[in-house]
């Protein structure tokens, strides 16, 4: 029978993809630490390397595979002294086919099995089971808990996932095949996660999911995202809350009122419109059209006057005509959104869109995506420049290499919207500044 030792194998994580994967890595890491497995930052020093992969689009799949082979080439892995565990979206999407191709991996852990990560690691090292970890006086495991997933590599901000899976079945999207059906996490689970992070010093929490606006709709006693956010804002009044990835149908009057009435809820909405031409949206298996979205944007701004709006758009969808592409450009000009993320359409095996007629060549898709980026960047620069002279709170996050302090205002989401450079304060402080200058997405505050 294996004996617990103090020579438990060390574990390193390499996480690819979106913030939701970062949260999944956090949860796996916390389980391992609670079981007594030490964590290390450097994969070259680890006995077990867990690659949490992304395969949402082909480029992400290729990055995951390239990362795998780079890690498989490390000296300790090649010598058999370290083992690779491939987790997350790639094994969830490709299953047995992946196992037969990537024989250098010792284990595959799809999204649905990530709760079993301790058993997986123990199975790979049966003669090196860990002794029980030493608990602190308060019952926690201490600094090595590694239980915070930080947003933008800062201990002051964190992500909290409020649900998993998706029921929408957009014709281009692989998420339902990877993550399964939509299911909300309970209020008690979410509140406990938030409470832990706030107690650890986090000042801003970003709520994420594949479809945040649907939270609570699958409960026996139906709940809403507005109720969740209002509850958290009142329970943790010194903490900023932000919500990302909310579909147009999820932007309700109840949510807007909750956002408007709570100063610690960031007046920020990330709404993935994806296109503006109705025929393209129907082919995507999505609702709405450019006029509907413009009405929604106008209504949001009337209800929450200081709101910041972000969207994502797909260029070069199968069958997209010049006129339909021009309709999307017109929408961008009229909407004047703060931030726009743009992606060329990616043809993904197993999706309905991959079988549609009218597939555009890669060069044209890239050209159209770049045209959207150029237009959107020019509009964003003007919208951001209009903030000069306004006053706003900024959460100080750290210093640049030259010592310059930087942080983020409520109008800047982690990782995607730039930062604000400030002249005073220390990391973790929330300071009031007047915006004195901008350069594209960056701002300067005094």
> CA 49 to CA 124: how far, in whole Å?
12
Q: DSSP labels for 31-99? A: HHHHTT--B-S-GGG-SEEEEEE--SSHHHHHHHHHHHHHHHTSHHHHTTSSEEEEEEHHHHHHHHHHH
User: What is each CA distance from 241 to 21, 334, 345, in whole angstroms?
Assistant: 20, 29, 32
Place of tokens 């969808």: 317
Q: What is the pLDDT of residue 149?
A: 44
Q: What is the pLDDT of residue 241?
A: 97
Q: What is the pLDDT of residue 150?
A: 45
Prediction pTM value: 0.82
φ, ψ dihedrals at 355, nearest 5° = -100, 0
Three-class SS state of 267: coil
User: What is each CA distance from 184 to 97, 145, 161, 286, 359, in whole angstroms?
Assistant: 30, 25, 9, 22, 35
Instruction: Please tell me the chain's helix, strand, coil percentages from 3-state DSSP, rounded to the nearest 5.
Output: 40, 20, 40
Q: What is the pLDDT of residue 404?
A: 87
The answer to whether 418 and 387 have CB atoms below 8 angstroms apart is no
Three-class SS state of 211: coil
φ, ψ dihedrals at 391, nearest 5° = -110, 140
Q: What is the pLDDT of residue 145?
A: 44
> CA 299 to CA 256: how far, in whole Å?
10
The burial of 401, by beta-carbon neighbours within 10 Å (0-12 exposed, 13-18 middle, 19 or more buried), is given as: exposed
Neighbours of 441 (CB within 10 A): 16
The answer to whether 37 and 8 have CB atoms below 8 angstroms apart is yes
Bridge partners for 183 per DSSP: 164
Three-class SS state of 269: strand
Half-sphere exposure of 145 (CA within 13 A, CB side): 13
Report which of 159, 239, 268 is spatially closest to residue 206, judged by C-alpha positions.
159
Can you state the angle between helices 290-303 and 253-261, rounded to 10 degrees? Answer: 30
Strand (E) positions, 403-441?
405-409, 420-422, 430-439
Three-class SS state of 350: coil
> CA 301 to CA 213: how far, in whole Å?
18
HEC letters along 353-393: HHHCCCCCCHHHHHHHHHHHHHHHHHHHHHHHHCCCCCEEE
Neighbours of 136 (CB within 10 A): 11
Q: What is the pLDDT of residue 382?
A: 92
> CA 435 to CA 223: how far, in whole Å?
38
The burial of 322, by beta-carbon neighbours within 10 Å (0-12 exposed, 13-18 middle, 19 or more buried), is given as: exposed
User: What is each CA distance from 194 to 107, 171, 199, 414, in whole angstroms?
Assistant: 32, 34, 9, 17
Local confidence pLDDT in tens for the 446 residues of the chain: 444 455 888 899 988 877 778 888 888 888 888 888 888 888 888 899 999 988 877 888 888 888 888 888 888 888 888 898 988 888 888 877 777 788 888 888 888 888 889 989 988 888 888 876 544 444 444 444 444 444 445 688 889 999 988 888 899 888 888 778 889 999 999 999 999 889 888 999 999 988 999 999 999 899 999 999 999 999 999 999 999 999 999 999 999 999 999 999 999 999 999 999 999 999 999 999 999 999 999 999 999 999 999 999 999 999 999 999 999 999 999 999 999 999 999 998 889 999 999 999 999 999 999 999 999 999 999 999 999 999 999 999 988 888 888 999 999 998 888 899 998 888 888 999 999 988 888 888 88
The burial of 199, by beta-carbon neighbours within 10 Å (0-12 exposed, 13-18 middle, 19 or more buried), is given as: exposed
Dihedral sign (CA 158, 160, 165, 171): negative
Please give the biggest Cα pair distance in the chain.
70
> CA 111 to CA 88: how far, in whole Å?
5
> CA 409 to CA 430: how far, in whole Å?
9
């Amino acid at each position: 029978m294996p004996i617990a030792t103090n020579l438990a194998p060390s574990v390193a994580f390499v996480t690819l993809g979106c913030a939701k994967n970062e949260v999944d890595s956090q949860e796996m890491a916390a389980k391992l630490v609670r079981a007594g497995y030490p964590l290390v930052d450097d994969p070259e020093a680890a006995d077990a390397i867990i690659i949490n992969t992304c395969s949402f689009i082909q480029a992400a799949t290729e990055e995951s595979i390239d990362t795998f082979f780079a890690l498989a080439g490390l000296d300790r892995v090649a010598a058999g002294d370290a083992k690779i565990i491939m987790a997350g979206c790639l094994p969830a999407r490709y299953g047995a086919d992946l196992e037969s191709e990537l024989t250098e991996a010792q284990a595959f852990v799809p999204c649905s099995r990530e709760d079993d990560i301790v058993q997986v690691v123990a199975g790979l090292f049966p003669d090196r089971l860990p002794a029980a970890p030493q608990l602190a006086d308060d019952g926690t495991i201490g600094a090595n808990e590694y239980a915070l997933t930080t947003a933008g590599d800062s201990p002051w901000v964190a992500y909290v996932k409020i649900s998993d899976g998706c029921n929408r079945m957009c014709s281009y999207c692989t998420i339902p095949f990877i993550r399964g059906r939509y299911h909300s996490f309970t209020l008690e689970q979410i509140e406990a996660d938030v409470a832990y992070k706030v107690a650890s010093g986090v000042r801003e929490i970003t709520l994420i999911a594949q479809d945040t606006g649907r939270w609570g709709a699958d409960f026996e006693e139906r709940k809403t995202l507005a109720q969740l956010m209002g509850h958290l804002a009142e329970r943790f009044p010194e903490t900023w809350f932000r919500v990302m990835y909310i579909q147009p149908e999820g932007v309700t009057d109840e949510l807007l009122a909750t956002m408007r009435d709570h100063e610690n809820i960031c007046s920020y909405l990330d709404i993935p419109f994806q296109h503006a031409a109705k025929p393209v949206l129907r082919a995507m298996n999505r609702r709405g059209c450019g006029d509907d979205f413009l009405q929604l944007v106008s209504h949001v701004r009337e209800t929450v006057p200081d709101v910041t709006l972000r969207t994502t758009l797909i260029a070069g969808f199968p069958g997209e005509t010049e006129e339909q592409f021009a309709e999307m450009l017109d929408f961008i000009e009229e909407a004047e959104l703060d931030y726009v993320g743009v992606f060329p359409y990616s043809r993904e095996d197993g999706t309905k869109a991959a079988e549609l007629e009218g597939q555009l060549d890669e060069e044209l898709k890239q050209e159209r995506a770049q045209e959207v980026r150029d237009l959107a960047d020019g509009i964003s620069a003007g919208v951001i420049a209009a903030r000069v002279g306004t006053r706003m709170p900024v959460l100080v996050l750290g210093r640049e290499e030259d010592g310059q302090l930087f942080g983020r205002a409520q109008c800047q989401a982690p990782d995607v919207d730039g930062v604000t450079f400030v002249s005073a304060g220390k990391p973790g402080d929330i300071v009031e500044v007047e915006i004195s200058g901008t350069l594209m997405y960056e701002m300067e505050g005094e």
